[in-house]
Every structure is written in structure tokens, then in C-alpha cells.
Structure 1
Amino acid sequence: MRKIVVAIAAFMVSAVPALAQQQPPGGRLGTGLPVPRYVSLKTDRVNLREGPSKDHRTAWVFQRAGLPVEIIAEYETWRRIRDSEGTEGWVLHSLLSGRRTALVMPWAKKGEPPISLLDRADEKAGVIAQMQPGVITNVKACDGKWCRVMIAIDGARDLDGYVQQEKLWGVYPNEQIE
């Protein structure tokens, strides 16, 4: 019995990405933009569905506007996304934003030291703030090694500084963003 369940689960996982690659008759596959690519969640309530339609079950609900996600497939108005923990599913394109954001070291283990937000792109630069893992940053620019990011503190002020690109989830290694 166990082997049958595993085989069915493996089929279901492999069938969904294949669906994203099929052009429906008279339909549109996607935007033509590069896949994969990073975007962010537009609202603080985004349903992650098992398939590309509202008929599919909601598997998860994201509750964090600005969270970076990676688009890994497109099908008409639906985008298959992956979050920093590897969770995948389908969301309507209208719930996503092209605004680039990144998470500070979401893979860090409890007790690891915070990450420094620096006043320039240099390991010896002055420290503006210490960021805990999981903080969402707005990505302003990246040169392949360093990213200039902004963190919203409250409605009145923001912190603007630099962090090593390798310490962010939401930008690709060596990616340059202007």
C-alpha cells in the first residue's frame, strides 16, 4: 500500500509543472518574462493553491505583504511560486508585485548573530543597524556582491544601507539590479 501512495504522490508533483508548460488551445501560457524570477506578495493575505485555478484547494495562506517569492512557472493568469522554505503552489498574478524584496538569512539557525546593515558596500563600513534573520528588506540595487536595501522602521523613517548579497533570499547569486 505504501508504494502505491508514494507513486501517486510522485505523479501529482511531477504533473503540475508539466501543466504549466502546456499551451492551452487559444490560451496564453504566461507573460514571456524570464522564469524563474523573484517578485513579492502584494497583500497580506494570499492563497497558495494546489493547482492553477480557484477550483483547486487552498494549501496555505501567506499573511505577510512584501514577502519575496520565486516564480517558477506560469499558466495563463496563474503563477507557480516557491517561498524561502521551499513551499510551492499556485497564486493569481494580481496578488504578486514586481517590487523586489529580500529576506535576511531565513536559513539562519536560532542563536546566530544578527546581520549588519552597513553605511557602504564594504565589510569595514559603519554599522547602521543589526538585522535579525527573516527581516524583509526592499531591494534598491545589487552589484553581484552587495545589495543596497531599505528597511521600513515605521511610517516616519526608513533605514537605508548595504548588506552582502549572499545573506539575502530574494536575489540570485551574482545578480545585478539597477
Structure 2
Amino acid sequence: MFKPRFLALMLAGSILPAAPAFAQDAEVPYWASIRAPEVNMRAGPGEDYRISWVYRRPQLPIKVLRLKEGWRLVQDPDGAQGWMLARFLTRQRGGYITGKGTADMRESGEAGAKLLWRLEPGVTGLLGDCQNGWCAFSVGERKGFVEQARIWGAGEP
């Protein structure tokens, strides 16, 4: 028969190896964005896997779904999933304009605020803080606020 102290040590030893894997999984999902001018999405987590897509869109928001060593299982705004090397991603939040027709970029986060620009669907930019349904958004030197509902990459992943 096992003594209680020995049984407790065996139980602790069997749980500890799983802790790092659990800690990795606790971080996902999260938002990231593409940092490089060109990034490959692959069918699996390794350079031997075929390339599914080539992205040439810095600041494109990506939803990170899983972690595996230096690779990330990601989803793009169109729903495509695949693996990217983590070094080509950044935690700096990007945004992607969605929906039909242009999205208004306004001077402040209110529907009646001065209209600054109209953004076509597919425009990417840097995402700032979101409050009351509006997000700070910048495209190059142009800065303003866009309705959160029009931005993929805003809100919870």
C-alpha cells in the first residue's frame, strides 16, 4: 500500500509536466498582426509543409488560435486558417475594415462627429482603444475613429 506522502508526490509529479502546455494554451486565442512585408501561411507547423497563402499586408490582423513551438495556428479575416512563424507576427493590434460600402472615419467616437475619410472594405490600419462602439484607427498618417462593428480585429478574439 502507498503511504499518503508518497502518493501526493506521485500525483504532483504527474501534474507538473502538463503545466507548461496548459500555460501556453491559456494565452490563446489572442489578436496579433502581420509585421513583415511578406509572410507565408503553411498547412502545418514547419517549413516542410506546403504554403497555402502568401500575405503581403503588414498590419493585417490575425487571430492566433494555437501555439506550437515557434509556430502559430492563425485565422485571417476571410476565415482561412494555417500556420505562421511567430517571428513574423506582432502583438500590436491591427484592424481590417469589413462590411459593404465605405466605413466612415470620424474626428471623434460619435456618429455625428466630423467626417474625415471614407475607408473601403479591406483597408488595414493600426487599432487603438475602443469605447462605446468606436475605435481609434490610423491608416498611415490618417487618424480618426471608426465604428467597432466595421473592424475585424477589434473586441475579443
- The interval holding the TM-score normalised by the smaller chain is 0.7 to 0.9
Q: Percent identity of the aligned residues? A: 27
SS of the residue 1:94 aligns to? helix
Q: TM (normalized to structure 2)?
A: 0.80
**Gapped regions of structure 2 (runs ≥ 5):** 1-16
SS of the residue 1:102 aligns to? strand
Aligned to 1:74: 67
Q: Which of the numbers 107, 112, 115 marks the counterpart of 1:127?
A: 115
Superposed CA RMSD in Å reads 2.1
Q: How many residues align?
A: 139
SS of the residue 2:143 aligns to? strand
Deviations 1:94-148 (A, max 9, x none): 010111010111x43xxx3x11100111101110111111111211211251101
Give distance in 1, aligned partners of 2:122 and 2:86. Answer: 24
**Which structure has the larger Rg over C-alpha atoms?**
2
**Gapped regions of structure 1 (runs ≥ 5):** 1-24, 153-157
SS of the residue 2:59 aligns to? coil
The residue correspondences of 1:23-172 to structure 2 (distance < 5 A) are 29=21, 31=24, 34-105=27-98, 107-108=99-100, 112=101, 114-143=102-131, 145-152=133-140, 158-172=141-155
SS of the residue 1:53 aligns to? coil
On the 8 A contact 2:73/2:84 being kept in 1, the answer is yes
- Runs of 4+ deviating beyond 4 Å: 28-33
SS of the residue 1:150 aligns to? strand
CA apart distance, 1:34? 2.6
Farther off after superposition, 124-133 or 33-42: 33-42
